[in-house]
Amino acid sequence: MSTKREKPNYDQALKRLLSRAHDAFLDLIAPGLTWQGERSPELPAVARYADLVWEVAAGSDWRGVLHIELQTDSDERIGERVAEYGIRLWLRDHLPVRSVVVFLRPTQPPASPFVIEWRGAESLRYTFDVVRLWEIPPERVLARPEYDLWPLAGLMGNPTLEAAVSIAERIASAPLPEHERSDLAVLLVVLAEVRLGARVVLQALRRSPMIDDLLRHSSVAELFREEGMREGMREGMREGMRDSVRRVMETRFGTLDVAMTEAIEAATDDDLNDLVTLSAIGTLEQVRERLGLP
């Protein structure tokens, strides 16, 4: 009875030999370079979370993956980030990938494409689209019947307090259950902070009894209580903020690890104010960085 011989594994032996003869091997495959030292060949498998990943189609015979990143400020590393996400998405799904970076407030976005050069020649090029939300008229979303998109109008065009109040009034009059209208009104305030300042917007919105009623009946409204409350009410506000941040983050990113939960519990008032916005529109990396987590 014959047995099948296992194929010898020359991989490790070959690597050792080439490492010992590195100068000669370099001269063979990449003349002109000089060997400087070994680096770890291990590629870290660190979890990454993109903001939005959607499977899309064009007609009946083409499908792809659209990767969307939401940015409040310019980030010089956004190009390498979206390139990494794009390659990871390709390796996972083997579908065509396109990345779109949506900037929420006026800034100078990094230019596309992201390029890695090797001695003056391109070795990698990743092209991504840039959307400047402030260049899009708010009527583009307000004219649509999808009410969930309306709070985004507070970031578009040249926002004013009057425009924010008008959007809030439209939300308050929408044919939706009260809790949904409340959530949309609060999200409008959260997003308006990016362009106008949350407290200024809140004060303007609460002058309308109809809008004020929506905000007061929202579970997130405690985030915006005025200064001067008794300390007990302030602590209730902080706990409401923590709870809101946790719930929004769990909805977007899944179950939070112990370190993140503890960091939210220990967050200062300033941290919580930033986290309210970041939890709604930021990336997981931005939230972790704000909490001082790796």
pLDDT in tens, 30-54: 888 888 888 887 777 777 888 899 9
Locate the DSSP E strands across the chain: 52-57, 63-71, 97-103, 114-118, 121-126, 128-132
Q: For residues 209 and 141, which has the higher predicted lDDT (pLDDT)?
A: 141
114 and 145 in a single domain? The answer is: no
Domain end residue (candidates: 85, 112, 134): 134
130 and 150 in a single domain? The answer is: no
Answer yes or no: is 44 within a domain. Answer: no
Question: Residue 27's pLDDT is what?
Answer: 87
Host domain of residue 205 = 136-223
Q: What is the mean pLDDT of residues 105-121?
A: 90
Distances (CA, A) of 165 to 14, 160, 205, 229: 70, 9, 6, 25
Q: For residues 7 and 189, which has the higher predicted lDDT (pLDDT)?
A: 189
Answer yes or no: is 15 within a domain. Answer: no
pLDDT grade, residue 84 (50/70/90)? very high
Answer yes or no: is 279 within a domain. Answer: yes
| Cβ neighbours of 90 (radius 10 Å) | 13
Question: Residue 234's pLDDT is what?
Answer: 53
Answer yes or no: is 31 within a domain. Answer: no
Answer yes or no: is 80 within a domain. Answer: yes
62 and 84 in a single domain? The answer is: yes
Answer yes or no: is 26 within a domain. Answer: no
H/E segment holding residue 180: helix 178-192
Answer yes or no: is 23 within a domain. Answer: no
| Nearest C-alpha neighbor of 224 from the set 174, 268, 260, 277 | 277
Domain count, the chain: 3
DSSP at 292: T
Q: Is the CB of residue 244 less than 8 Å from the CB of residue 276?
A: yes
Domain end residue (candidates: 166, 188, 223): 223
99 and 148 in a single domain? The answer is: no
Q: Is the CB of residue 68 less than 8 Å from the CB of residue 54?
A: yes
pLDDT grade, residue 80 (50/70/90)? very high
Answer yes or no: is 38 within a domain. Answer: no
pTM of the predicted structure, to 2 decimals: 0.67
Domain end residue (candidates: 134, 165, 185): 134
Question: Residue 229's pLDDT is what?
Answer: 38
Q: What is the mean pLDDT of residues 228-241?
A: 56
158 and 123 in a single domain? The answer is: no
DSSP at 1: -
